[in-house]
Amino acid sequence: MPLDGEYGPSPAQWVREQVELYESSGGTQGTTLWDTGLPVVIVTMRGAKSGRIRKVPLMRVEHEGRYAAVASKGGYPHHPVWYYNLKADPRVELQDGPERQALTARELTGDEKAQWWRRAVAAYPPYAEYQEKTDRVIPVFVLEPE
């Protein structure tokens, strides 16, 4: 069942604008992190408190049809609030370029997390710097088909 309801745009203009460009272009524009050329996906989820639809751009970390969602938030001391959304309702829709699919989020631990962390850092090396700069252990979810 698709995630529908009232959309709650990000209060961060650069994030809101990236979502708008990505979606309005059918996933042909706004698909990288600024001018880095590194690919971005859009993860749609339900707000844990508001019930509103939230759309969160994340770096694209993909392996054999599954994706990682890295709750780095630039190494800030606190988790991004979307972390709590996924804990409350793991159903997401992921847009990767023009492709959109329903996936389920599962928080990772242990060896599985370590494996996906290596993949994440390979895709976006600053993740390692973010983890260095905070005592917070950056959570990683895998987004996978049901």
Ligand X SMILES: C[C@H](OP(=O)(O)OC[C@@H](O)[C@@H](O)[C@@H](O)Cn1c2nc(=O)[nH]c(=O)c-2cc2ccc(O)cc21)C(=O)N[C@@H](CCC(=O)N[C@@H](CCC(=O)O)C(=O)O)C(=O)O
- Please tell me the distance from the alpha carbon of residue 107 to that of residue 64, in angstroms, as a whole number: 18
- All residues at 6 or more sequence positions from 90 whose CB lies less than 8 Å from its CB, including other chains: 104, 105, 106
**Shortest Å distance, C-beta 123 to ligand X:** 9
Nearest C-alpha neighbor of 106 from the set 80, 136, 86, 79: 86
C-beta nearest to ligand X: residue: 47
Query: Which x/- pattern over 86-125 shows residues binding ligand X (rule: CB under 6 A)?
Result: ----------------------------------------
Among the residue ranges 20-28, 68-76, 92-100, 111-119, the one whose residues contact ligand X (CB under 6 A)? 68-76
Residues 37-66 that bind ligand X (CB under 6 A): 40, 47-50, 52, 54, 56-59
